Structure 1
C-alpha cells in the first residue's frame, strides 16, 4: 500500500517554457553498440539504463525521447551559467565563423582581452595567465611552475583530494579508485585531510584547525628536506565528497608552506567562478592569497578551456626554457570564457548562487531531521554534499543507498553525482542559474527516494 502511495505522489519537475528539437539521430542502442565497439572501455556511463543526452537549455537537459531532466550535477560542475546559454552560444558561433584557431605565435585580440578580464577578478598580485585545455593539465603545469621557480622538488597535497588524471596530476590525486599501479607519486606527499566529519578531529574540539595544519607542518619536517616547491589544495574538495575545511585551516597551512619556501597553489577547478556563492573564488573563503591559481570546468561553460594564473615573478622564471601549448588561448575557447564572465556579471549569477545555494543547503539540512541515513550535509553555495550512513554514530558509509538514490532520482527527472572514497556522498552541483523552484524539486525527489528505500 505504501509503495502505491509513493507512485501516486511522484515529484513534478518545474514548468519550463522550452520545446526540444525532434531527435532524428542514431538510436540509443546504435550509440551503445558503437561505443562498446570503438570507445575506450574505461569511459563508463552512469545508470543501469544509460542516459543519452541530446539537448540542453539552461539548468535542464533532454534525452532522445524529449524527456526533460533537471541537471543537478552540471557535468561535474562544468556548466556554470547554463546549458547553451544564448550569450555564450552567440559568442562561440560568431568567433567560429571568423577564425577557429590561431596559435599564440601570432596576435589575436580575444586572448588579450580575456586575460585582462580574468586578472581583474583576481587579487592584485596575480596578473599573468597561461591557458591550457583541462584541469589536469592546469595542475600539472602549476606543479612544474612551482618547481622551476623555487628550485625545490617536493609537493605537499591532501589525502582525499582530486587534482586530475594526467601522469603527474595523478600523483597529486589521493584516491585509490583514481590511481593506477604505476610510478606517479615521486616527490609528492599527502598530508592528513582536514575532514571535520570523518577525520581525526571535529569542529567540537579546541584548535581543530591548528591540529590539522600541524599535520602539514610535520610532513614538511619529517618527509622532505624542509624546503618544498609548493602545496596544492582544492578550496573545497569536490570528488572527495564536498569536504569543507575548518575555519582558519588553510591560512595556517599557507604560513607553514611559505616558511618552507614553497608556493601555495589553489585548485579552483570546481570552486571557481562564484560556485560557492559567498565569493568569486573559493580561496577567498579562507582569507588567503595564493601564489598560483588553477582554473577549469566552469571557466568555459563546457567548452574545453583551463588556465593557470600566477605572479609576474613566477611567470618570468618559467621563461628560462621554451614552453608551448598548441591550443592555448584558442580564439573560440577564449570567446566562450569571455562570454561566461560577461554573463556572470549581467545575470547576477553570484547573487543567485548565494541565495539559492543557501536555500538548498538549509532545505537538505531540514530533510536530514527526518532521515536518519543522512549523516552529514555540507558545502557552500551550489556545491553541496550529502553523506549517507548506515549508522549516525559509527558513520559507516552507505554506498549502496547512494547508488539506489542516484538511480531512482534519474528516473524521477533529477541528475545528481556521487563522490567520496566509497561513493557514499550525493554530490549536488547544478548550473548556477537554478531557481528555488528547482531546489524544491530536488528536495522532493530526495525525500521521495529516501522514503522509498527506507520503506
Structure 2
C-alpha cells in the first residue's frame, strides 16, 4: 500500500517552499498520484475523468503505454549528451516535423518549453528581418519569460512591472464581445484591418513579426472566423512582416487537424510548439521556412533541448497520433461535445457563448446582462471535480469553462461529462 502525504501536507509545504505565483485549482484540492489514458487518480483512490489534459498536454493520454515504453527504453540507453554531440533522435524528430507541419516549414530548433520557443522565434524573426518591433493580439499568451510576458495581452499574466518595449497590441477576433463593437460578417474583419492602422501609426515601421494563436487558449478559447487569418497575412506580407503562429496549445491534433492553422489555410513563417509534442515530457520547438532559419548561423544551443529522451517521447507521440488518427477522432468527438453543449445552452441561460474547434472548446458563462459569471464558474469546477470530472477555466475574467480532454477520450465519456454538467448547471440560480 502506497503512503501519500496528502493534500493538506502538500499545501503546507507549498506555502513554505514554493514561490507563491505557483497557484492551484479548487478550494478543496486533491493529491493526484496516478494517470492512465483519460483518467487520473488521487491519493484516496478516487478516479477522475480528465477533460483538461494537463492544459492541452497529454493528447495521447496519461502514461500512454507506447510512449512510456519509448521513454523508458531511451532512458536506459542514452539520456543526455547536449547538441554538441551527434545523436539520431533529434534529427529524425526534426525530419518528422518538417513532414507534418503545413506549408514550407522545414528547419527546427528544440528547447524545453513554449516560452523558450517563442523567445527563440522572436529572435529568429529579428535576425531575418533586421527589425525589432512586434505586434501581438489582445488576450494572447506567449510565455512567462520577460519577452513572453511582454508579448502577452492578458493583464493577469503580465506580472513584470517593466515590460519590453516595441510591442503593440491589435484587437483580437473576439466576436462574442467585439472590441470594436461590430458584428461579423458585416464588420468586414475590422479587427484584422486595424493591424494596418497600428503598423502605420503606432510603430516605427520596423516590425519583425506578429505573434498569433489560432485559438487563444488562456484568452478564453477565442476562435477567429475562418477568413480572419488570410486578411491578417495579406496585411503583414504587404509590409514585410513575418507571421509567427503559436501552436503551443492548439497543435498535435487538438483542434481536429494536426495543426490548427490548417483550418485557416494560411502558412506560418515561423511556428512555435510545445506541450503535446512529447505528451508530457518537457519540450519546446520553433520551426521555420529554410530561408528564414538559415540566417541563424552564430552559435546557439539549448542544453536539454531535443535531448535523446525528449526526442524519443516526441517521436513516439507523433507515431501514436498518426497511427490512431487522433486528429480525425478529435474532429468527430469535438462535434459530439459541441452539439451537446449547444443543447445545454438552450436549457441554461448562464451559457453565453460556445466556441472552439475539435476538442478545444470554451463555454463562456455570463449573467443576463452579459457580465462574467466568475463565482459560478468556480462553483462548477469544484462540483464537477467532486463528481469525478476535471475541467478547466480561462479567459481574462476566468469565466470560460475549458474543455481540452486527451484525444483518446470516448463518446461515452463525453456524454458522462455533458450529463453531469447539466446536473451541476441546474444547481445554479442567476
* TM-score, normalised relative to structure 2: 0.97
Q: Work out the CA distance in 1 between the residues paired with 2:393 and 2:417.
A: 15
Per the alignment, residue 411 of structure 1 pairs with 386
| Structure 1 residues 401 and 27: alpha-carbon distance in aligned structure 2, compared to 1, 3 A threshold | closer
Aligned equivalent of 2:314: 337
Indicate whether 1:96 and 2:75 are aligned.
yes
Q: Which residue of 2 aligns with 1:18?
A: none
Matching residue within 85, 90, 93 for 1:114: 93
Q: Deviations 1:394-414 (Å, cap 9, x if unpaired)?
A: 321111111111111100111
Tell me which moved more, 29-38 or 158-167. 29-38
Contact 1:131 1:329 survives alignment (8 Å): yes
Deviation at 1:453, TM superposition (A): 1.8
CA contact (8 A) 2:141 2:152 kept: yes
Tell me the CA shift for residue 40 of structure 1.
Answer: 1.4
1:84 aligns with 2:63: yes
Q: 2:22 aligns with which of 36, 40, 43?
A: 43
Is 2:2 the counterpart of 1:23? Answer: yes
Measure, in 2, the Cα distance between the counterparts of 1:34 and 1:145. 41
Counterpart of 2:281? 303
Deviation at 1:102, TM superposition (A): 1.3
Instruction: Using the TM superposition, give the Cα deviation of residue 64 of structure 1 relative to its aligned residue in structure 2, in angstroms.
Output: 0.5
Partner residue in 2 for 1:206: 186
Structure 1 residue 33 displacement after superposition: 2.2
Provide the rounded CA distance (Å) in 1 between the counterparts of 2:299 and 2:32: 41
Structure 1 segment 38-437 matched on structure 2, within 5 A: 38-199=17-178, 200-201=180-181, 203-209=183-189, 211-277=190-256, 279-319=257-297, 321-391=298-368, 394-437=369-412
Alignment partner of 1:439 is 2:414 = yes
Q: 1:203 to 1:273 in 2, by over 3 A?
A: farther
SS in 1 for 2:212: strand
Native 8 Å contact 1:227 1:261 kept in 2: no
Counterparts of 1:203 and 1:276 in 2: how far apart (Å)?
A: 25
Instruction: Provide the secondary structure at the position in 1 that maps to 2:161.
Output: coil
Partner SS state of residue 315, structure 2: helix
Please report how far the alpha carbon of residue 188 of structure 1 lies from its aligned counterpart in structure 2 after TM superposition: 0.8
Q: TM (normalized to structure 1)?
A: 0.92
Note if contact 1:201-1:208 (Cα within 8 Å) is conserved in structure 2.
Answer: no
RMSD between superposed Cα atoms in Å:
1.3
- TM-superposition CA deviations, 1:13-36 (whole Å, max 9, x none): xxxxxxxxx532323333222222
The alpha-carbon deviation at position 92 of structure 1 amounts to 0.2
Aligned equivalents of 2:345 and 2:405: distance in 1?
20
Give the 3-state SS of the residue equivalent to 1:317 in structure 2. Answer: coil
- 1:236-255 per-position Cα deviation (integer Å, ceiling 9, x unaligned): 11001100112211111111
Segments of structure 2 that go 5 or more residues without pairing to the other structure are none
**Structure 1 range deviating more: 43-52 or 360-369:** 43-52
CA shift, 1:204, in A, is 4.4
C-alpha distance in 2, partners of 1:42/1:196?
A: 32
Report the alpha carbon displacement of residue 203 of structure 1 after superposing the two structures with TM.
4.9
Measured at CA, do residues 415 and 202 of structure 1 come closer, stay the same or move farther in structure 2, by a change above 3 Å? farther
Secondary structure of residue in 2 paired with 1:357: helix
Partner of 1:15: none
Structure 1 runs (4+) deviating above 3 angstroms are: 201-205
Shift of 1:207: 4.2
1:453 aligned counterpart, secondary structure: coil
How many residues are aligned here?
429
Report if the CA contact (8 A) 2:6-2:31 is conserved: no
Contact residue 195 and residue 202 of structure 1 kept, 8 A: no
1:240 is paired with a residue whose SS is: coil
Unaligned regions of 5+ residues in structure 1, if any?
1-21
The separation in 2 between residues aligned to 1:66 and 1:341, in whole angstroms, is: 31
CA apart distance, 1:48:
0.9
Query: Partners in 2 of 1:208 and 1:446 — Cα distance?
Result: 36
CA contact under 8 A between 2:377 and 2:401: conserved in structure 1?
Answer: yes
Q: Distance in 2 between matches of 1:88 and 1:213?
A: 41
Q: CA-to-partner distance for each residue in 1:348-403, whole Å, 9 max, x for gaps?
A: 21121111111001100111000011000111100000000001xx3211111111
Distance in 2, matches of 1:258 and 1:73, equals 36
The verdict on how the C-alpha distance between 1:413 and 1:185 changes in structure 2, with shifts beyond 3 A counting, is same
Structure 2 Cα separation of the partners of residues 204 and 131 of structure 1: 39
Q: Secondary structure of 1:318's partner? A: coil
Quote the Cα distance in structure 1 between the aligned partners of 2:240 and 2:270: 14
CA distance, structure 2, for counterparts of residue 114 and residue 366 of structure 1 = 42
State whether residues 103 and 267 of structure 2, in contact with CA within 8 Å, keep that contact through their aligned partners in structure 1: no
Contact 2:251/2:260 (CA < 8 Å) preserved in 1? Answer: yes
CA distance in 2, matches of 1:289, 1:124: 6
